[in-house]
Structure 1
Amino acid sequence: MTAQFMENLVYEGVAMAMCTAPLSDFFALGGRAVRLKPRTNTALWRGYIGSWEVLDGRLYLVGISATMECGGKATLEHFFPGYPKRVFAHWFSAELRVPTGELRKYVHMGWASEYEDEMIVSLQRGVVTGVRMRSGQPVWLKSEPDARVDRS
């Protein structure tokens, strides 16, 4: 699999990129599927790029970049009728992985590349429950436990 385009995130007023696709969890739970134009780029298997914002400790979907199967531009209302500007991500209970340091090792697969530092934002039903910094290789790519202490 090709390395994937990142999602967009605004956190505390700062624009960042993230290696997490919270909208995928919505679809996995049976959320409204929208017929998007077939992908033409192997770096975008999911067919869209979401724009997200953490506001007052809550995660919101604030935009989507995708093309409808008919050729028109996809909007939030295609996925969430009645919500044209933002949608609270109440379906998302996981972590956002936000690279904050330099790329250390490019991996030509999904979001497996390694960064000097990462911000990990934990969420429960769309509400931020914790934020921590992690240095070095992502924990899920290691074979032994991470002995380092996270910075906070």
Structure 2
Amino acid sequence: MTSQMPERILIDGKPHLLHALPLYRLLASRRVRISAPDEWTTNCHRQYVGTWDVIDGKLCLVALSTYGDRERPLSDAMRSWFLRLVPATRFPVSAEWFSGHLRIPTGPMLLWGFHGWSSWFTRERVITCRRGRVVRDREVDTLAMLEWALRRCEGLKQRIDPEDTRGELLTWITDDDYEHLRGDWWPPDWEGQRIPTSL
């Protein structure tokens, strides 16, 4: 497995990675796919990237792109097809089909995972939705959870790295919460007004 390209979400006007697939159940229930027009890539098996926002307490899809060898805006035909599928007349689209949890990393990365979204971050925001409406929004201290688990598993450190004499099992990859969001990160056809000018 390869680490997957996450979805995106705006939270309080700031861009974040989204480790959830709000479109998955809708597409699976209709037995349809969004396919990239070019070469398929292992870091985005689903072949699309959605950009999401919470507007007036509702989860909304504000942009959608295909992702093959690179990210591209939807063609006019695919955009019309998707809006008929949802159904909606234009973006943003209220995600009334989605019930579940949205995992949003908000702290620095602790441990990097090479498959799916298995990396650990110091903190995560978890938003719970029911039929597209936000019913719970909480901050989770994942660093504290990991430290608790390590304390509970006596001897785990020696089994993982017997040469570690400093007692430092955790490795900090970056101290900058937004380092992974720098650069050309937004969809190619993004027309939103809330793009931050600097991170």
Calculate the TM-score normalised by the size of structure 1: 0.79
Q: Helix, strand or coil for the counterpart of 1:134?
A: strand
The correspondence for 1:119, drawn from 107, 125, 146, is: 125
Greater shift in the superposed pair: 9-18 or 121-130? 9-18
The correspondence for 1:80, drawn from 65, 79, 83, is: 83
- Computing the radius of gyration over CA atoms, which structure comes out larger, 1 or 2? 2
Distance 2:80 2:130 in 1: 24
Q: Which residue of 2 aligns with 1:3?
A: 3
Shift of 1:41: 2.0
Distance 2:56 2:31 in 1: 25
Q: One-letter code of the match for 1:83?
A: T
Gapped regions of structure 1 (runs ≥ 5): 144-152
Gapped regions of structure 2 (runs ≥ 5): 150-199
For the 8 Å contact 2:64–2:73, the answer to whether it is kept is no
| Number of residues of Structure 1 aligned to a counterpart in Structure 2 | 138
Deviations 1:9-53 (A, max 9, x none): 112322211111111121122265444336532111110110111
Q: Which residue of 2 aligns with 1:95?
A: 101
What root-mean-square deviation, in Å, do the aligned CA atoms of Structure 1 and Structure 2 show?
2.6
Shift of 1:136: 1.7
Q: Which residue of 2 aligns with 1:52?
A: 52
Judged with a 3 Å threshold, the aligned counterparts in structure 2 of structure 1 residues 110 and 12 are, in CA distance, closer, same or farther, namely same
Greater shift in the superposed pair: 28-37 or 84-93? 28-37
Moved segments of 4+, more than 4 Å: none
For the 8 Å contact 2:35–2:48, the answer to whether it is kept is no
Q: Does 1:131 align with 2:134?
A: no
Q: One-letter code of the match for 1:22?
A: P
Distance 1:42 1:33 in 2: 16
Shift of 1:104: 0.6
**Higher helix residue share:** 2
Distance 1:13 1:104 in 2: 25
Shift of 1:77: 3.0
Q: Does 1:106 align with 2:112?
A: yes
Calculate the TM-score normalised by the size of structure 2: 0.61
For the 8 Å contact 2:100–2:128, the answer to whether it is kept is yes
Q: One-letter code of the match for 1:13?
A: G
